[in-house]
Amino acid sequence: MKPVVIIFLLVFISLSLQAQDGHELWLRNKSTGHVTVTCSGNSPTLAIAIKELQQGWQGKDNAKVVLTIKDDKAIKYDGFKLSPGEIQANTDLGILYGVYELLRRQQTGRPVEEIICNPSYEVRILNHWDDPDSSTMRGFASRSIFWRKGKNALAVTDADKTLWQEYARANASIGINGAVLNIVNASPLVLSEAYLERVKAIAAILRPYGVKTYLAVNFAFPSIIGGLKTSDPLDPGVIKWWSARVKEIYSKIPDFGGFIVKANSEGMQGPHDYGRTHAQGANLLADALKPYGGIIMWRAFVYSPTDKDRAKQAYLEFMPLDGQFRDNVIIQVKNGPIDFQPREPFSPLFGAMKKTSVMPEFEIMKEYLGGTVHLVFLAPMWEECLKSETYQEGPGSTVGRCTDGSIFPQKHTGIAGVANVGVDTNWCGHPFDQANWYTFGRLAWDNTLTSEKIADEWIKLTFSQVPAGQAASTLYTTDWTEKFLVPVKKMMLESREAAVNYMMPLGFHHIFSMPNTHYGPGPWWAPEGMRKDWTPPYYHQADINGVGFDRTRSGTDGVSQYHEPLASQLNDLMTCPEILLLWFHHVSWDYTMKSGRTLWDEICYHYAAGVQQVRDFQKIWDQVELYVDKNRFTIVQTRMREQYRNAVIWKDACLQYFQQFSRRPIPYDIERPVYNLDYLMKNSDRYYGL
């Protein structure tokens, strides 16, 4: 391209960079021509589909599109068949999803070819960790979009309805079809008459977009709010109580989805309190929901304080129960065996429970990955999990295939994401955190998508600058692609590994400072009397001989929860992937790594590399200033500066702390620490964040 043309283009683009508050998410494009839509049916969902096509059409002017609903065995659930002039589906919702796919293709410059798109999972659900008092767990993007505090807490305003409708539309556009409206540490308020009325109002708005409403309940509700002496799942009074509650809910919300339950976990009561099993507990609720078609998502996030290895606990509690759950129970399993760490191996329950429906749970909200301050794109983390080989039914038994019904005849399939949505204008706090919401939906729909493809789509939809009447795809010039899309995508794709490097490389895990809401480093944190498996030294096990948690056959034998040949591969120091080394092995400081360096030096270089990566992200971002509106540019730039400072803190804290055990110098070609360890230790719970 000639220099004058480039200058003209840049001026043109920057003039059109209107301030963006991020509220429109990835749904910013408007139609560039007229389309005539004919449709064989008539419903609120189809009305939305038609309106979306007309308002977002960027294909040929005066084109015709036919929406056809007819039974086709090749189409699964709410899947659809797309062709240039037609969208066909078995359901109205399938048509709506087809419309969003068609528009996405137009907006990202992909051809509309003949293709059948079926979702990988039947239930694609967001879990909101929102309390009826309006607080959200860790409050990353401010308060809840569903609940309000104060005198008018339960009034349903027009502003509420608009926000819920925008939320539902965003979800539908990426295939999400369910929402749990309250946190798993469930408050009894949610089942009260007044709150159920609010749930009903929310459900009415979400319904036409195909987003079903679910609630989290506490297993002990019968004794907490029901006036019963027990919550024993086999007690006839308890059974009756739950049936009555469920009946009441369905009388208000006929298409209610069901419950999620966190039981016998982190102080929550559960069937164990009555000498019963998780299966007996889950089945109680499953039976109550069964007549209405509801499901139970029963979480496997459990760990007893007595076991020697917390990473083994969920498997120990749940494997013996395989086959004992009703067919409307799905066991919801976090991606890794501990708790949403920057990197974990996949949970050994995936593929191991063969007679039970099992669904993965991801955390979209970056509880352990720098909250809304750090730019971390989570697609590579989830892709890594979904594509992990379990070997449960021979090669090709990936976590994705073990959970999506390809291998086991699960009655229900599902995938859950802990939402990162709040009332912040841009929904998620950090502009790039929208990409994680987007990714969850896209992967839930198609668990074989690559991170690269998702990032590509999201950047195009979120950052293209579209003057009215101009198709977004025509603006993906070589200049925009080379100077914006390529570097920003590279930054996103590297960002998770960067976070692993500066926080917890080589298999380190859970070395956060706990009072610091899982944000900054705290490998030293172990107050007197604290439950051991809540303290970082339990996880890193550093001593003068080495570091790492021994889960080999001579250690806690955690490796044996995995299928062969993986179990042996993980067990052997030589074949265990180095990215998980300290998860499975206690390794001496002078052990020779594949790079030829000692373990100690390798740890140091990883921390240094992580810091450098964030430095490089800053350079990338500063160079794209011309292509981003000022508002979003500044938010990202400011947060990235803080991310860099945090990365330095992580490196300085961890290297100086572990150096006390390794007794070796930090290699001299690495930047020297700038913070004193004692300063970081004293300030660990109040130093970080913007």
The torsion angles phi and psi of 331, rounded to 5 degrees, stand at -85, 125
Tokens at 222, concatenated:
């019968």
For ligand GCU, give the closer residue by CB, 367 or 457. 367
Residue 397 beta carbon to ligand GCU: minimum distance, rounded to whole angstroms: 26
- Binding ligand GCU (rule: CB under 6 A), the pick from 17, 47, 112, 137 is 137
Tell which positions 312-371 bind ligand GCU, by CB under 6 A: 339, 367
User: Judging by beta carbons within 10 Å of its beta carbon (0-12, 13-18, 19+), is residue 151 exposed, middle or buried?
Assistant: exposed
Catalytic (active site) residue 317: no
Judged by beta carbon, residue 267 or residue 395, the one nearer ligand GCU is 267
Residue labelled with tokens 């006036």: 227
Cβ proximity to ligand GCU: between 82 and 421 the closer is 421
Rounded least distance, CB 334 to ligand GCU, Å: 7
- Helical H segments across 410-485, by residue range: 434-445, 451-463, 478-480
Q: What is the nearest approach in angstroms of ligand GCU to the Cβ of residue 137?
A: 6
What is the C-alpha to C-alpha distance for residues 581 and 587, in angstroms, rounded to an integer? 8
Cβ at position 265, least distance to ligand GCU in Å:
6
Cis peptide before 222 (omega within 30 of 0): no
Smallest distance from the beta carbon of 190 to ligand GCU, in angstroms?
Answer: 16
Closer residue to ligand GCU in complex, CB, 90/187: 187
Choosing from 61, 197, 266, 543, the catalytic residue is 266
Answer for the pair 135, 415: CB distance below 8 angstroms, yes or no. Answer: no
Binding to ligand GCU in span 236-255, by CB under 6 A:
none
**Minimal distance, residue 384 CB to ligand GCU, in Å:** 20
Annotate 2-16 with b (16+ C-beta within 10 A) or e (fewer): eeeeeeebeeebeee
Q: How far apart, in whole angstroms, are the C-alpha atoms of residue 417 and residue 546?
A: 36
- Inter-residue contact 616 to 490 (CB < 8 Å): no
Report whether 545 contacts 504 (CB < 8 A). no
- The Cα–Cα gap between 541 and 533 comes to 11
Query: Between 518 and 632, whose beta carbon lies closer to ligand GCU?
Result: 518
Helix/strand/coil for 284: helix
Q: Which of 165, 185, 448, 631 binds ligand GCU (CB under 6 A)?
A: 185
Q: For strand 80-83 and strand 115-117, is the pairing parallel, antiparallel, or unpaired?
A: antiparallel
Query: Binding to ligand GCU by residue 593, rule CB under 6 A?
Result: no
Q: Which is nearer to ligand GCU, 253 or 300 (by Cβ)?
A: 300
From the list 317, 339, 384, 456, the catalytic residue is: 339
Selected from 169, 262, 489, 585, the binder of ligand GCU by CB under 6 A is 262
Angle among Cα 459, 463, 467 to the nearest 5 degrees reads 140
Judged by CB under 6 A, the number of residues near ligand GCU is 8
Which position among 184, 238, 376, 407 is part of the footprint of ligand GCU (CB under 6 A)? 184
Min dist. Cβ of residue 266 to ligand GCU (A): 6
Residues between 264 and 283 with contacts to ligand GCU, criterion CB under 6 A: 266
266 given a catalytic annotation: yes
Interacting residue with ligand GCU among 77, 259, 301, 600 (CB under 6 A):
301
Q: Measured from the CB of residue 569, what is the shortest distance to ligand GCU in angstroms?
A: 29
Crossing angle of helices 193-206 and 236-252, in 10° steps, is 50
Q: What are the Cα distances from residue 621, in Å, to 49, 438, 488, 626, 632?
A: 37, 21, 7, 10, 11
CA-to-CA distance for 524 and 511, rounded, in angstroms? 8
- Of the pair 449, 511, the CB lying nearest ligand GCU is at 511
Nearer to ligand GCU, 245 or 334 (CB): 334
Least Å distance, CB 535 to ligand GCU, is 14
Identify which of residues 81 and 366 has a Cβ nearer to ligand GCU in the complex.
366
Residue 144, C-beta contacts closer than 8 angstroms, at least 6 positions apart:
128, 130, 131, 134, 135, 136, 422, 423
Q: Does the active-site annotation cover 404?
A: no
Closer residue to ligand GCU, CB minimum distance, 301 or 427: 301
Closest CA to 295 of 129, 416, 444: 416
Active-site residue, selected from the candidate residues 78, 122, 317, 367: 367
x-marked contacts with ligand GCU along 538-567 as a string, rule CB under 6 A: ------------------------------
The residues near 535 (Cβ < 8 Å, ≥ 6 apart) are 514, 525, 526, 527
Burial of 453 from C-beta contacts in 10 A (0-12 / 13-18 / 19+): middle
- Burial, 1: exposed, middle or buried (Cβ in 10 Å; 0-12, 13-18, 19+)? exposed
CB 469 within 8 A of CB 499: no
CB of 184 to ligand GCU, least distance (A): 5
Which residues are designated catalytic? 266, 339, 367
Contact residues: ligand GCU, CB under 6 A? 137, 184-185, 262, 266, 301, 339, 367
